[in-house]
Each structure stands twice: as structure tokens, then as C-alpha cells.
Homo-oligomer: A and B are copies of this chain.
């Protein structure tokens, strides 16, 4: 198997996600992954660098994909109230099972991944604020709250639930309850 080959990289990503789901971030090493992929460790290192590089690339891909989906949604042409009403589902679905069950461990173990996540959040922040500002301009949201404050509240609610829900179902249910209540409240 040649290194750098996109098919083998895809295989490594797939097997890594399997290991992440079964054993979390710390419960496996590059040896285990090599066995899973049926490759030598040497070949594996050529394809993905070390474990941190691999997890960095997987996190970056996943965060970028989720942010792009959200961006597309927020910039779409549907009426603002409709977009706001379905925004909680969009946000919840932007967290896949692998991300949700490993995001805390990834942030603790790999500060570089945490920093990358933060810088991605900053780009997300901008188009969230643009979206809420559009709602204000179209008179759909109350005048006396700033778009940036709405974003701060939404961001805090998301982060709180990432750290305090025990599983995907609880995350989904709690997030749906608080985000829907909040979005309904700001809609005129």
C-alpha cells in the first residue's frame, strides 16, 4: 500500500473513527490502529504523521464540514423566522456522535486541537452575528438586544451542554428545549 494514497488515508480515518467511538481518545495507540488498518506502523506514520496529527486532521475536517453546513443554512434565502425556528435542529445536528463523545478529551489532551477549534468558532461567530443582525434589520427580533449578545447566549448554551450532558440523546433533548425556548423568545 502506497503512502499518501487517498484511499489508504480514507481507510485510516475510518478505522480511527471506529477506535474513537469504541475506546475514546486515550484508549488506543498507533499500534492498535496499524493492526486495525492491516498496515505496518511505518506505513501508517508515513500516511498520517503521529496520533496528534491524525486527530488534528480528523477534527479539522469534521469542524470545517459542520461549520460550512451551518453557514450555508444561515445564509440561505428562506424567511428569517423559519430559519430561526429550525436553527436548534441545525445546531444539534452539527455535532456528530464521534465529535460529541470525544470533544472534551481532545481539548484536554491536545491543546493544538483546542486552539484550532477556538479559531474556527471565531469564524462561526461572525456569520452567526450576521444572521441575527439580519433578523434585527428585518424587524423579526426585538430591538433591545444586540446580535452579538444573542450569539454569546447561544454559544454559552452550546458549550454548557457539551460539558454537562452524559450522552448524545440527553444533549439533543436538553439543547432542543433551551434553544427552542430561547429562539422563540427573541422572535417578535
Q: Interface of A with B (CB < 8 Å)?
A: 142, 144-146, 149-150, 152-153, 156-157, 159-161, 163-164, 174, 177-178, 181-182, 184-186
**Chain B's nearest CB lies how many Å from the CB of A92?**
15
State which of B144, B156, B159, B178 has its C-beta within 8 Å of the C-beta of A184.
B144
Q: Contact at B164–A157, with CB atoms within 8 Å?
A: no
Docked pose: A159 CA to B178 CA in angstroms: 15
| Given contacts A184-B144, A185-B186, A156 and B160 within 8 Å (CB-CB) | yes
A contacts with B: majority SS: helix
Residue ID in chain B nearest A186 by CB atoms: B185
State which of B146, B149, B150, B161 has its C-beta within 8 Å of the C-beta of A156.
B161
Docked pose: A145 CA to B142 CA in angstroms: 17
Task: Name the B residues within 8 Å of A156 (CB-CB).
Answer: 156-157, 160-161, 164, 178
Docked pose: A144 CA to B164 CA in angstroms: 25
**Chain B's nearest CB lies how many Å from the CB of A54?**
28
State which of B150, B159, B164, B185 has its C-beta within 8 Å of the C-beta of A164.
B159
Docked pose: A178 CA to B156 CA in angstroms: 9
Docked pose: A121 CA to B157 CA in angstroms: 18
**Chain B's nearest CB lies how many Å from the CB of A123?**
19
Q: Contact at A178–B149, with CB atoms within 8 Å?
A: yes
Q: Contact at B177–A152, with CB atoms within 8 Å?
A: yes
**Chain B's nearest CB lies how many Å from the CB of A26?**
18
Task: Name the B residues within 8 Å of A181 (CB-CB).
Answer: 145-146, 149-150, 153
State which of B145, B153, B163, B185 has its C-beta within 8 Å of the C-beta of A145.
B185
| 6 cross-chain CB contacts under 8 A | A144-B184, A145-B185, A146-B181, A152-B178, A156-B160, A159-B160
State which of B150, B157, B186 has its C-beta within 8 Å of the C-beta of A157.
B157
